[in-house]
Amino acid sequence: MSRETFVGVVGVAAALFAASSANAQWVVTRLQPSGSTWSQAYGADGEQQVGIVLVGLSYHASLWSGTAASWVDLNPASAVGSVANAVSGSRQGGWVEAAGAQRASMWSGTAASWVDLHTAGATQSVVNALSGSQQVGWSIIGGKFGASLWSGSAASWINLNPAGATESEALATNGTQQGGYARFGSYHAGIWSGSAASWVDLHPAMCTRSFVYALEGGRQIGWAEVGGYPQASIWTGTAASWTSINPASAAWSYAYAASGPFQVGEAIIGNVAHASLWSGTAGSWVDLHLMLPPEFVNSKATGVATDGVTLSITGFAQNSTNSRLEAILWTQAICRADFDGSGFVDTDDFTAFVVAFEAGDESADVDRSGFVDTDDFTFYVLAFEAGC
């Protein structure tokens, strides 16, 4: 079906369906396990969340499936401590402190499943993100801090540090591409495609520092500093494509994760950190901090997952009653017709879907079949007409 045909359908659908609210009730779940001192959640995928829990005096890499009671301790028996930074499918990534070093690590749902990815010759290494067969992070070798790529074993390590960079770190992967930063005097956001030589510098000319934290659907998500103030940011493959999504009411902001049309992070308002949600623009900002109980005084969103039915956001917040950090899960039922995540169903949603569909973007796979095809178009038309 051609673009002209699609655009014609937009008008038909608009006539069938007037704009309506798509907001659903947010549910806030505390993931702090019973008996632990404090906790933080760092990543989400599907129904899983990962992070850390302080057990006694030791950090333990942690896995949840939506409740505090579901907590799984991933800390290996031989480890001093551990952290889980990311989850993708059945695997979790982070680091384990053992044999006198931080060691890049991967798990498959249990402490016993731990895989040591620590690079030969490295003094320290960490996995920040994983997707498909790839794990990314950093290693220190010969005193140099460098972006690193693995594919399931320590022996698979690839040095991503670009030529001329004094240091670098990979913070994101979508399974084929890697994102992060390299330091050339200042910190430059950038992406790789599996090798140091593939580095693409995304640093905007007007910015003093920039970082990529997530990759999603042809976009790079992170933050860039302008005039001394960090701003949550989105790129589409070039430095010139940089766009700020800093909320109008925020002094500064950071974006840390993305899934489908959604991005999450934090915005600083009145010197208070507010966990934040966007769907591609500054105007789409949703203040997740307002959903928390009143005893929480600061919050940060660090991970996001969506299956087209439920939006799940992980993070943590400071509890003023006991001065501890607590892992938090925000969830909301998704209105599939609200394609742009604006909170309303209108012709902007249909237009956004058409553009994504024609581009073959994975966000247009609204029937979750794994393919973008005419079934998705039919599915979306029916959802749009049904409303929310």
Average pLDDT over residues 188-199: 98
Model confidence at 12: pLDDT above 50 = no
| Both tokens assigned to 65 | 């499936």
**What mean pLDDT comes out for the span 347-373?**
86
- The mean predicted confidence, pLDDT, of the chain is 92
Query: Which comes out higher in pLDDT, residue 335 or 39?
Result: 39
The pTM (predicted TM-score) of the whole model is 0.86
| C-alpha distance from residue 254 to each of 128, 225, 250, 275 (Å) | 17, 10, 11, 10
Question: Tokens standing for 322?
Answer: 């006991």
pLDDT-derived band at 226 (thresholds 50, 70, 90) equals very high
Q: Which of the pair, 309 or 41, is modelled with greater confidence?
A: 41
Alpha carbon distances (Å) from 168 to 118, 154, 185? 17, 19, 12
Distance CA 265, CA 274 (A): 8
| Res 3: pLDDT | 34
Average pLDDT over residues 116-137: 97
Secondary structure class of 300 (helix, strand, coil): strand
3-state secondary structure of 375: helix
Q: What is the pLDDT of residue 239?
A: 98
pLDDT at 165: 98
Write the DSSP symbol of residue 142: T
Assigned token pair, 24: 């659903």
CA dihedral (230, 319, 315, 146) in degrees, to 10, reads 60
Task: Find, among 84, 31, 30, 75, the residue nearest to 57 by Cα.
Answer: 75
Percent of the chain with pLDDT over 90: 79
Q: State percent of the chain over pLDDT 70.
A: 94
pLDDT score, position 23: 54
**DSSP for 80-140?**
SEEEEEEEETTEEEEEEEETTEEEEEEESSSGGG-EE-PPTTEEEEEEEEEETTEEEEEEE
Domain edges within the chain? 1-24+335-388
Q: Which of these, 26, 81, 23, 77, lies nearest to 54 by C-alpha position?
A: 81
Q: Per the structure block, which two tokens stand in for 232? A: 């949550």
Averaged pLDDT for residues 290-301: 97
Whole-angstrom distance, CA of residue 101 vs CA of residue 119: 11
pLDDT for position 19 = 52
